[in-house]
A = this chain, B = another copy of it.
């Protein structure tokens, strides 16, 4: 592989001149420039990124930390971040953490040693003090894990309220909630939204709240248990779509008709909700936009570390599909 020295020799100039041409910095005679460019062409030269990184202390590389790449929410997010990264000539690195603090820290250290320029982090575990050692811009996404960090979130609380109220509006008498991992702030907000709608209802029981993980299989199991203990339940608000699909599967196993006997609403708006039968009503998050926003915000902060931290909250939107729809048709 050709180096800058080879180019310099061939063009009969010094490496400094080549560097100037390469970076469009400083004066260089038009003729000389042409000669250098010819030499570059001829040698198929392209500058070694590692050497640049070593010198600059910056790598033009950003990372996205996600807890579970198999949850379709995250590929979509990754896609958005990747697109923005590419557009700005950044290399994109995806880190799958299993929501495991040790894995997260290992990755962070490894990336720091590679002079990563910034990170977008979806984590329930990371604390402020872990970030102190890592001296690069960090954007928190989806789950809040520290104050004085730029954050991208959705209006989980309002969305959860709306979802629960909607189930009421279509005629559900007993509404249960399947919530996610307690360590995740988004889950807690969604729970709070649900609670604020149902708390004062005479029918409400704390056993209408069951908790699992953001995971289909587990959600199916706990929903089956829930429905067997409480056959009166006719509406379920699941804290995310994966769990909503699990609830759908549970209903199917138990022979409960959806939406006639049981209405189900999810949260996220991952594509898969459309592939189920019945399709899943859900509170849609603008996943791609969130990823885009996070990446742009990160790059902005990389370019100017002194910039004040920003927060951005996206709205969620109710999309009615089959898992609730006919119920409203029947009742109103």
Contact = CB atoms under 8 A, between A and B. Distances in A.
A209 interface: no
A30 interface: no
A40 to B, nearest CB: 14
Given A46-B113, A50-B54, A50-B115, A69 B59 contact: no
B72 A70 contact: yes
A70 B275 contact: no
Given A216-B275, A272-B272, A48 B78 contact: no
Contacts of A79: 69-70, 96
A70 B249 contact: no
A216 B275 CA distance: 9
Contacts of A216: 271, 275
A252 B277 CA distance: 9
A307 to B, nearest CB: 22
A47, A103, A276: residue with the most chain B Cβ atoms closer than 10 Å: A276
Nearest to A69: B75
Interface string A130-162: 000101000000000000000000000000000
Contacts of A135: 1
The secondary structure that dominates the A interface is helix
A54 B135 CA distance: 22
A114 B91 contact: yes
A78 B75 CA distance: 11
B46 A109 contact: yes
A228 interface: no
A245 interface: yes
Contacts of A94: 78, 92-94
A110 interface: yes
Interface string A74-103: 111011001000100001111110000001
Contacts of A114: 49-50, 91
Contacts of A96: 78-79, 82
Given A54-B54, A75-B69, A47 B113 contact: yes
A78 B1 CA distance: 30
A115 to B, nearest CB: 5
Contact of A70 (B49, B54, B76, B276): B76
Given A70-B75, A91-B110, A245-B275, A51 B54 contact: yes
Nearest to A52: B113
A211 interface: no
A234 B59 CA distance: 56
Contacts of A37: none
A53 interface: yes
A245 B72 CA distance: 16
A332 to B, nearest CB: 26
Interface in A179-216: 216
A47 to B, nearest CB: 7
Interface string A24-55: 00000000000000000000101111110110
5 contacts: A50-B113, A92-B94, A94-B94, A248-B277, A276-B277
